[in-house]
Chain A
Amino acid sequence: MNARTLRVFAALCISLTALGAAAQEDGVLDSAVVRNRLYKPAGHPELSLSVGLPVQTHLTAHYFFNVGLAYNLFDTFALEARAGYAASRHTGLARSISESFLDREDKRVTDELEDLWQMNLHGVIGARWAPIYGKISLVADIPVHFQTYLWAGGGLGNLKRESVIQCTQVVDRAAGVCDNRTAVDDRGSATENYWVKESRVAPVVSAALGFRFFIQQKHGVRLELRDWIFKDSYRVNLLRDDWEAGNPTGEPAGSPGLTHLVQFDLGYTYSF
């Protein structure tokens, strides 16, 4: 499937390139038309705040809150440092799996699930390349200027992981209880749970495609599709008897792959 997909995308790229070349030859592309940029960020530092919402959730959901400090080396290129905190949680699907798997004793040897790490504190440094400057006509005579940019960078993230498979102290197998709740149907009363937990600090890579809409000289609104990527890590060949006895079990997965947290970011930018 991958090879077929690659072939299709290669054909698509070639087709689009050919279209652009044909248009250039025909003289339908003017040169330097948006020559008078109303907003020239070069040489200006800027501060930004952003909130990120998950585009899709499987077993975890993240809500990012970021602060960024950038310096525009050129109109089209900037360096930016971003740091923040991601509020994260298990999804309802993960909770459902954890509750039902406690009672599934026919599965006594299994592997941990992928992509269960949750990111909290994080910081990255990256470059922002904005080759496209444009304007749109909102309503009749209100032109809105924007930049389209690509962002790429790396840094560190604080990660934590709570298993939905390994419960070290089963309280009620049939009801799927693995915490100290006071009543079986009152999950909120629990102050502690007995799922296996891990934490680590790991390298994080982030990439984004975004739009920055200028508002007057100093303000801006940013819309981004951002991916946070880090290496996954989980254990395989886990034995139910061992984990339910509170003993470590299994071994690390050989090639755990990468975890992607794809977010839709909405941000505000202030240029100094």
Chain B
Amino acid sequence: MRPFRSIALLVAAVPALALAQGAAPAQPPAGQSAPAAAPAAAPGSSGPETTAPASPSPAEPPERSRTQRDAPAVPQTAPDAAPASRPTDDDAEGTPAQGPQAPGPTSGTAPESPPSDAPVLDSGGEAPRTTDAQQQRLVNGAPLYNPNVNVHIVQKKRFADEGKHELVLYPGVVQVNGKFTNHVGTALHYVYHLQENFALQVGGQYNWYSDESDFNLELIDKVREQAQAASSLLLQWGAHAGVEVTPLYGKFAFFNNSLAQFSLVLSGGAGIGKTRHLIRPEVANEVEGQTYQVPARFGDTGNKFLGEVGGGFRVQFGESYAFRLEVRDLIYTARVDKVDGCNLADFESLEAARAANQPFEGLNLSSSCKVAKFDGVDPETKKNYREDIILGRDLVAEPSSDVLNNVSFYAGFSVLF
């Protein structure tokens, strides 16, 4: 009968175990104080080592009050140390020595053998792991001090996301796969967490630096080669909407001192982006013995469809703050057949007029061609814009297309509300 009684006691203890394991993000009443005696005290042990203070200090987490409520429910059907066996759970490991045990509700007689699935003690022969009330407090709802309780520490998220809004600012967005291009920008995203693991997101990004890479300029300089226009298209800004899922979550400790919860976030979406292409790099312009530095010139290549996929980590600090480290790939189709609205025929007409030193008025150009961008002289740098016509024509002379992957590293922080 004793094994049956033990099993019955274990079954009866299940609800209490469930209580003990449940993380307690909700705040219990502040005035709720703990019972005076720590129930995890080993029979026979005495003194302050196993006695909890009469009331928790304000600094202690509210879960503390559950410490004393849970442990008595843990039956100890095997008062003598069970054979050493490593606990199966991740947080009941370590070196749980024969620690404090709850007083067994059974009579003094020892059972013949515990059930095979009963929690057991590791009789490592070491001193009890917990000795004072501070160590016996619940941590995220887990009675880590009690080696008899199997605790799934990564069992319940401490902070719920469902129904929350999240505003994410990525001050630094740096392209990491820039062979022919370099982008650095800033992004702002809004995320609404529809469910715990599923959210809707909308965001925008402005690349305050977008230029051809040094590698591309090196090729032009040294071997007279360069990337096709479509392969070196630059993304000026982008806006997209999509979804975000968080299939995994976890936690980590930094040097055993600080805990942080994190989630793996995966995102996908679609939108639109504005592109441009370098027409002329920065040059020095000499006019009448004076040198002017002429900044790089870019030509508008239109808006493109934008796809977005990404993944990363969101590390949460409390209920309201988080920071994110992500890698996102902005995918856009690139076909360059117009620069500043002018196609190849337009550039041919403009070049012919330039060679003949004729005005551009009256030329038969397409309606989208912004002819003013290729006419006149810059008053500050004395650069004649007509000299850029041939460069613009080169970009569209051989229409090129490509699918570009702009993979960037996003570092940012967010506020949840």
Contacts and interface: CB of A to CB of B under 8 A. Distances in A.
Max count, chain B CB within 10 A of own CB: residue among A27, A132, A134:
A134
B219 interface: yes
Contacts of A4: 208-209
A32 B172 contact: no
B348 to A, nearest CB: 24
Q: How large is the interface on B (under 10, 10 to 19, 20 to 34, 35 or more residues)?
A: 35 or more
B91 A113 contact: no
B209 A23 contact: no
Interface in B234-258: 248-258
A24 B323 CA distance: 15
Given A23-B317, A27-B59, A135 B248 contact: no
A145 interface: yes
Max count, chain A CB within 10 A of own CB: residue among B59, B176, B221, B256:
B256
A100 B225 contact: yes
Interface string B131-162: 00000000110001000000011110000000
A183 B250 CA distance: 60
B91 A165 contact: no
Nearest to A33: B259
Interface of A: 1, 4-5, 8-9, 11-12, 15-16, 19-20, 22-24, 26-38, 55-56, 58, 76, 96-97, 100-101, 104, 106-107, 110-114, 131-138, 141, 143-146, 148, 165
B259 A143 contact: no
A165 B223 CA distance: 8
Interface in B171-229: 171-172, 174, 176-177, 179, 184, 186, 208-209, 215, 218-219, 221-225
Contacts of A111: 221-222
Given A97-B219, A110-B222, A33 B317 contact: no
B248 A22 contact: no
Interface string B116-131: 0000000000000000
Given A4-B208, A107-B223, A110-B223, 12 more contacts: A16-B323, A20-B258, A22-B317, A27-B61, A34-B153, A35-B139, A36-B92, A56-B177, A58-B179, A106-B224, A134-B262, A143-B153
Contact of B248 (A8, A11, A55, A138): A138
Interface of B: 59, 61, 89-94, 96, 139-140, 144, 152-155, 171-172, 174, 176-177, 179, 184, 186, 208-209, 215, 218-219, 221-225, 248-260, 262, 264, 317-319, 321, 323, 411-413
A137 B208 CA distance: 38
A135 B249 CA distance: 9
A136 B265 CA distance: 13
A112 B222 CA distance: 7
A165 B89 CA distance: 62
A235 B96 CA distance: 65
Contacts of A110: 222-223
Given A23-B318, A56-B177, A136-B264, A143 B154 contact: yes
Contact of B323 (A19, A38, A101, A141): A19
7 contacts: A8-B186, A56-B176, A97-B223, A107-B224, A110-B222, A111-B222, A137-B248
A29 B223 contact: no
B153 A12 contact: no
A37 B251 CA distance: 13
A131 B90 contact: no
A123 B94 CA distance: 36
